[in-house]
Amino acid sequence: MKPKLLDLFCCAGGAAMGYHEAGFDVVGVDINPQPRYPFQFHQMDWETALEELDLSGFSVIHASPPCQSYSCTKSFSKSKAPKLITEVRERLQGTEKPYVIENVKGARRDMLNPITLRGNMFGLQVIRDRLFEINPFLLAPPLVPVNGSTGSHRGISRLSDGGGYITVAGHNFLTHEARQAMAINWMNQKELAQAIPPAYTRWIGEQLMNVCFGEAVA
């Protein structure tokens, strides 16, 4: 039987797909409808999920609290969205289960010993640095320097000529390029702008399988 992972603040399932590829049975929770979420889904807020779902059936919990208040993006930098990382951590620690908290670079001060994952570590054509607080702690692979353009003009990047990276943020990118760059084929533009590339959580999931369950994934 596969270990189950609870995916809080799941959005459209970028993180979920990576954990699925690592061997987990994933169940998603989000306060908003997520019609393209690829696995079992419950529409509810994260606190209700921790209170009402039978947590005894889950081996690991992942949470991606809202990043808007931590983002350097101008449209988000004045956001009144709550900073939930500390509160989420306290609740997850109370479950006594392995957990992962994900967020953007601006959230570093609120996270405990986060590791950084970057798209070019996994051969992706995005940079998309993301922080992960992981309990039990995992050593991250070394960061890979960025070589090549990360810019675009009116959504057109250098992907078409085989070079550079695409910045998947806001609306200034082409959906088909972003899908290619992030290895995500089921999301729309808005969902892609918020997504975690599955390669990140596949790596984390494989390490957790080995550390927590003694199962090496081929």
* CATH code at position 71: 3.40.50.150
Per the domain annotation, does 103 fall within a domain?
yes
Helix axes 198-213, 14-22, angle to 10 degrees: 40
Confidence of residue 164 (pLDDT cuts 50, 70, 90): confident
Using DSSP, state whether 116 is helix, strand or coil. Answer: strand
- Number of structural domains the chain divides into: 1
Per the domain annotation, does 180 fall within a domain?
no
Confidence of residue 1 (pLDDT cuts 50, 70, 90): confident
* pTM, 2 dp: 0.89
Confidence of residue 150 (pLDDT cuts 50, 70, 90): low
Per the domain annotation, does 50 fall within a domain?
yes
- Asked if the model's pLDDT at residue 141 lies above 70, the reply is yes
Per the domain annotation, does 167 fall within a domain?
no
Q: What are the beta bridge partners of residue 4?
A: 25
Per the domain annotation, does 95 fall within a domain?
yes
Per the domain annotation, does 11 fall within a domain?
yes
Over the stretch 80-110, which tens digit does the pLDDT of each residue have? 667 899 999 999 999 999 999 999 999 999 9
Task: Return d(Cα 216, Cα 218) in angstroms, integer.
Answer: 6
Per the domain annotation, does 108 fall within a domain?
yes
Task: Return d(Cα 155, Cα 167) in angstroms, integer.
Answer: 9
Question: What range defines the domain where residue 52 resides?
Answer: 4-140+196-213
Over residues 168-184, the mean pLDDT reads: 94
Per the domain annotation, does 162 fall within a domain?
no
Confidence of residue 157 (pLDDT cuts 50, 70, 90): low
C-alpha distance across the termini of the chain, in Å? 17
